[in-house]
A and B are shown apart, each in its own frame.
Chain A
């Protein structure tokens, strides 16, 4: 590999002034070492667009041990081992370890073949078993008890001869949460890397046979129409319709407060009860959808915070009343998907190529339900339950005076939370107050301050020497980074943002920058949505906007798929559009090329965004 100049070396990154102590938040094994200067690293802005709170580093620590185990040790992918990650100034950088020795690749390929084939050949039944296991993990995480440490143990502890007091379970149950989170991630990657593998093969075939084809078109041929991620929004629409049918729709007004609406429904006799009953059934599991993508503790589910669904409901109720509420035209979407696939298939020159196309597309469609739906089970359902459980430990620590409030637990690393729980266990047993308050509260205050400072740091997109070839399919699959992408990082056009061309078309219009799905009420008809990431929670806004731009996402991301269905331009994965664009800016979204340009800045009186 030859080296080209361009990106700073890890050792050249200076501490952000005012946050020099950022290392105190993270584990020693996440720090760059002098040896790391020799390798190429890139900033994983896709999953970690914000500086990491100490606890949230678990969303890099655990996934990377699971992914690497899957590719390097479990399935033995021939050309790649696992991913290493480092944290600098609160940002997560990663690099993949390729296997370069041809003999070693061949040796690994021998193991990989039968292992991968076993999963592909039994995909559907394995996926059924997978769902059972992950549902089991979700049930387990929900059932974990956070010991409440009463003054005395209840009598049963003695009369049933339990023999173990509650303070013991502080650390055991906390450790159990971490263990379940790790198990979930191992299952997350269990089938995902192979699922992506099928995509990579089909993408590669399509781009060779049709060099001009866009990623989004390949994605359209693969995408399933009837996938879980549409369910939460579908449920909301159903609830809106039901509200109208039952005559309780008057309660759903712009700005309504969820608790008040629910109280009012309870006072509405049979109709109210019927709606609440349907609501309760919809909530479990469909409201376990995250408002983010599950990599930060503040990505809450609809169940954690009903504001999001209740922000969307008034609009849907109005649409039902106006007769403009339409179901997703699934049959038409399916037909269009099949028309595109057969259109490309027909252009292939030989029957052999057509047969290969059928095999590869068939494989993609086989893996698609898992690839798409696993997110709901893992990043949404399990992860939001997990963070709520950790928050419950936080509430205990707050009651014990170790931290000031429950959410502060996320500013402690999980090893520190374990220490704090040991402190509490000892103190409860000894009959004295824990000592952690004096120790942890100043630390937490400093970390909160540092995170604010770190938020303003612009991390370089990559660090270290650029390897000449980055086009190994496995590495590309894991990184989502290609030589072209790096080229654009090296030669940025300051006035233009680059992302993934997710849905075709070019429009200009006024931007509406929303940092949180709770702000979707601010969207006005015909604006262009600019947001960090969209998840199914954001679905209600797509009826109003004329284009979408996100910091995070790829051609298969939620925003991309929904935008294509609405036929509106979308550029996703821009990295920092929410920072560079202000509400009121006039912008051009080019969904064909994947670029966003600010044409005219908003006036000085403009709303600087949704926060």
Chain B
């Protein structure tokens, strides 16, 4: 178990600010802490954050003094060829440079603290997701969503170190550099934390919004899900089942069950994610029970209450529906809903001198 004071890794629940843990790491830390105190409680898979400090230490070895970064920072945004050349060179150096020993050992002990691997042979260690978490991610208008990498089903200390470096390198992929140049961001401020989180092996997974993505209605939770990993849904491999449930009455006001032809599942012990045809008996069946829908909605409400604004949440449901649904739910990510938040909603009505005036107004309108 790494010491809490260790600057290079932090347990997920201790990740607080984006400057240290990156946007994703800080928000997962917040989510983990929220889950512990929310009513009802919800779980976030255990993990740790490789901090921006660890990144800085590693970069010191890659680019001592920061000359290379200053050079990248001076490239004109329009010169994509130069950006591609500089980015490729930087990524190569990250891959080749030896990791500072203190950073490597902090990551290794953080990984060891996540427990044993799956199965009797225990394999190389627990399967984890390794996710990049840029320090400027989710900040103000600069959303890096989708520009950095996430690796699912990594197992063993060596492969974890390897994928942490890939996440670091993703800060210098062409799109990311071009993006920073376009926005005129200072290259010395760009840093990449990395979240290492235990994989879950969901029966079903997906996303949910604490308002209707279709109508903006804040009285409902809209859930989309599919069998297996939620990546099938995010990648657009399946049309998900979709459910709408009232936050107030708990009534499920809409359910659309679709044929989910493809299945993303992860194979334990570092063998990653496979994509197969979904078993015939699963395809047309709803991926969630009513109890699970209600438990997800309860978790969504708890998250929204904690953050105070509508949320866009990634979720997974584990195990078979014989255990209580609330105990089988894990949340993988939550961020503020942005589409409807950006729209100015006109007030639906204003009070009138007399209540009856509302009727007079409605019925007095010409067709």
Chain A interfacial positions (CB closer than 8 Å to B): 77-79, 98-100, 102, 105-106, 109, 112-113, 116-117, 120-121, 194, 197-198, 200-201, 204-205, 208-214, 216-217, 220, 339-340, 343-344, 347-350, 352-353, 355-360, 362-363, 366, 469, 472-474, 504-506, 592-593
Q: Is B6 an interface residue (CB 8 A)?
A: no
| With known contacts A106-B366, A210-B217, A194–B359 Cβ distance under 8 A | yes
Cα of A87 to Cα of B357 in the assembled complex, Å: 38
Interface size on B, residues (CB 8 A): 39
Find out whether the CB atom of A469 lies under 8 angstroms from the CB atom of B367.
yes
Q: Is the CB of B251 within 8 A of A592?
A: yes
Judged by a CB distance under 8 angstroms, whether B65 is at the interface is: no
User: What residues of chain B lie closer than 8 Å to A339, measured between beta carbons?
Assistant: 248
Tell me, yes or no, whether B231 is within 8 Å of chain A by CB. Answer: no
4 residue pairs, one from A and one from B, having the closest CB atoms: A211-B215, A120-B356, A343-B248, A355-B351
Nearest residue in A to B256 (C-beta to C-beta)?
A: A593
CB-CB contacts below 8 Å: B330-367 with A: 345, 347-352, 354-360, 362-367
Whether B358 and A360, one on each chain, are in contact in the complex, defined by CB atoms closer than 8 angstroms, is: yes
Chain A residues, Cβ within 8 Å of B214 = 211
Contact of A78 with B363 in the complex, beta carbons under 8 Å: yes
- CB contacts (< 8 Å) of B351 on chain A: these are 352, 355-356, 358-359
How long is the Cα–Cα vector from A506 to B218 in the complex, in angstroms? 24
Given contacts A212-B254, A347-B218, A359-B352, contact A105 B248 (CB under 8 A): no
Q: Contacts A210-B217, A213-B217 given: A198-B363 contact, CB under 8 Å? A: no
Which residue of A112, A340, A353 contacts B360 across the interface (Cβ within 8 Å)? A112
Is B358 within 8 A of A217, CB to CB?
Answer: no
CB within 8 Å for A210 and B367 given contacts A197-B359, A343-B247, A352-B350: no
Query: Are the C-beta atoms of B251 and A214 separated by less than 8 Å?
Result: yes
Flag if B362 contacts A100 (CB, 8 Å). Answer: no
Q: Are B362 and A473 in contact (CB under 8 A)?
A: yes
Closest approach, in angstroms, between the C-beta of A215 and any C-beta of chain B?
10
Is B37 close to A, CB under 8 A?
A: no
Jot down 16 A-B pairs with beta carbons below 8 A, ordered by A. Answer: A77-B363, A78-B363, A117-B357, A197-B359, A197-B363, A201-B358, A210-B219, A212-B244, A213-B219, A217-B246, A343-B219, A347-B219, A356-B358, A472-B367, A504-B251, A506-B290
Q: Are B348 and A208 neighbours in the complex by a CB distance under 8 Å?
A: yes
The answer to whether the Cβ of B253 comes within 8 Å of any Cβ in the partner chain is: yes
Known contacts: A217-B248, A344-B248, A592-B253. The answer to whether A79 contacts B365 by CB under 8 A is yes
| A105: chain B residues within 8 A (beta carbon) | 364-367
With a cutoff of 8 Å between Cβ atoms, the chain A residues found around residue B359 in the complex are 116, 120, 194, 197-198, 200-201, 363
Contacts of A200 in B (CB 8 A): 359, 362
Determine whether B176 belongs to the interface, using a CB cutoff of 8 Å to chain A. Answer: no
A350 and B363 within 8 A (CB):
no
Q: Which of A209, A212, A352 contacts B212 (CB 8 A)?
A: A212
Beyond known contacts A116-B356, A205-B348, A352-B351: 6 more, CB 8 A cutoff: A98-B367, A105-B366, A112-B364, A212-B254, A506-B290, A592-B254
Q: Is B274 an interface residue (CB 8 A)?
A: no
A592, B358: Cβ atoms closer than 8 Å: no
Write out the residue numbers on chain A whose beta carbons fall within 8 Å of the beta carbon of B255: 592-593
Rounded to whole Å, the gap between the CB of A586 and the closest CB of chain B is 18
Contact B254 A205 (CB under 8 A): no
B249-264 toward A: CB 8 Å interface, digit per residue (1/0)?
1011111000000000
Interface-centre pick from A99, A112, A352, A356 (highest chain B CB count, 10 A): A356
A117 to B354, CA, bound (A): 9
Provide the residues of chain B in CB contact with A504, threshold 8 Å: 249, 251-253
Q: A121-B356, A212-B217, A353-B350 are in contact. Are A204 and B366 (CB under 8 A)?
A: no
CA of A72 to CA of B217, assembled, Å = 37
Q: How far is the CA of A116 from the CA of B354 in the complex (A)?
A: 12
Smallest CB separation, B305 vs chain A (Å): 12
Contacting pair B253 A214 (CB below 8 A):
yes
- Residue of B whose beta carbon sits closest to that of A220: B249
Q: CB distance B356 to A212 under 8 Å?
A: no
Q: How far is the CA of A363 from the CA of B360 in the complex (A)?
A: 13
CB distance from A585 to the nearest CB of B (A): 22
Chain B contacts for A213, CB-based, 8 A: 217, 219, 246, 253
Which listed residue, A204, A348, A366, touches B362 by the CB 8 Å rule?
A204
Chain A nearest CB, measured from B325 CB (Å):
17
On whether the beta carbons of A363 and B356 are closer than 8 Å, the reply is yes
Say yes or no for B220: interface residue by CB 8 A criterion.
Answer: yes
**Bound complex: CA A504 to CA B358 (Å):** 30
- Given the known inter-chain contacts A209-B348, A213-B217, A347-B219, please indicate yes or no for A359 contacting B248, CB distance below 8 A: no
CB distance from A425 to the nearest CB of B (A): 48
Task: State how many angstroms separate the Cβ of B345 from the closest Cβ of chain A.
Answer: 6
User: Chain A residues near B217 (CB, 8 Å)?
Assistant: 210-213
Taking CB atoms, residues of chain A closer than 8 Å to B366 are: 78-79, 102, 105-106
Query: Which B residues are CB-close (under 8 A) to A98?
Result: 367
Report which of B219, B349, B352, B365 forms a contact with A212, defined as CB distance below 8 A: B219
When distances are taken between beta carbons in the complex, the residues of chain A under 8 Å from B356 are: 116-117, 120-121, 363
B214, B246, B251, most chain A CB atoms within 10 A: B251
A346 to chain B minimum Cβ distance, whole angstroms, is 9
Q: Which residue of A lies closest to B356 (CB)?
A: A120
Considering the complex, which residues of chain B in the window 59-115 have a beta carbon less than 8 Å from any beta carbon of chain A? none
**Cβ of B360 and Cβ of A116 under 8 Å apart?**
yes
- The residue of chain B having its C-beta at the shortest distance from the C-beta of A80 within the complex is B363
Q: Could you tell me the distance between the alpha carbons of A213 and B254 in the complex, rounded to whole angstroms?
A: 10
The smallest C-beta distance from A68 to any residue of chain B, in angstroms, reads 16
A106-B366, A213-B217, A363-B359 given as contacts; is B252 within 8 A of A592 (CB)? yes
- Complex interface: chain A residues within 8 A of B363 (CB): 77-79, 109, 112, 116, 197, 473-474
Which chain A positions have C-beta within 8 A of B360?
109, 112-113, 116-117
The docked-state distance in angstroms from the alpha carbon of A307 to that of B356 is: 45
B contact residues around A359 at 8 Å (CB): 351-352, 355, 358
Compute how far the CA of A116 lies from the CA of B359 in the bound complex, rounded to whole angstroms: 9
In the complex, chain A residues whose CB is within 8 Å of the CB of B347: 349-350, 352-353
Could you say which residues of chain A place their CB within 8 Å of the CB of B215? 211-212
**Bound CA–CA A464/B102 (angstroms):** 83
